[in-house]
Amino acid sequence: MSRPVFVSVILEMSASGARHPLEITWEDGSRYEITRSLYLGRRAARSAGSGECWLCRICGKDLPLYYSPLTGRWWMDGKGDPEPAPAAQPYKAVKDRGRKPAGA
**Adjacent-strand bridge partners of 77:** 4
The answer to whether 87 contacts another protein (rule: CB under 8 A) is yes
In this chain, which of 41, 60, 72, 103 binds another protein, going by CB under 8 A? Answer: 41
In this chain, which of 47, 54, 74, 75 binds another protein, going by CB under 8 A? Answer: 47
Other C-beta atoms closer than 10 Å to the C-beta of 67 total 18
CA distances (Å), origin 60, targets 15, 33, 77 = 28, 10, 16
Please give the helix or strand (H or E) that residue 95 lies within, else none. none
Which positions ≥6 away from 15 have C-beta within 8 Å?
Answer: none
Q: How near is the Cβ of 66 to another protein at its closest, in Å?
A: 11
In this chain, which of 7, 9, 45, 56 binds another protein, going by CB under 8 A? Answer: 45
Give 15 or 87: the residue with its C-beta nearer to another protein. Answer: 87
Q: How near is the Cβ of 51 to another protein at its closest, in Å?
A: 10
Give 59 or 93: the residue with its C-beta nearer to another protein. Answer: 93
* Percent helix, percent strand, percent coil in the chain, to nearest 5: 0, 55, 45
Q: Which residues bind another protein (CB under 8 A)?
A: 41-45, 47-50, 69-70, 82-91, 93-94, 96-100, 104
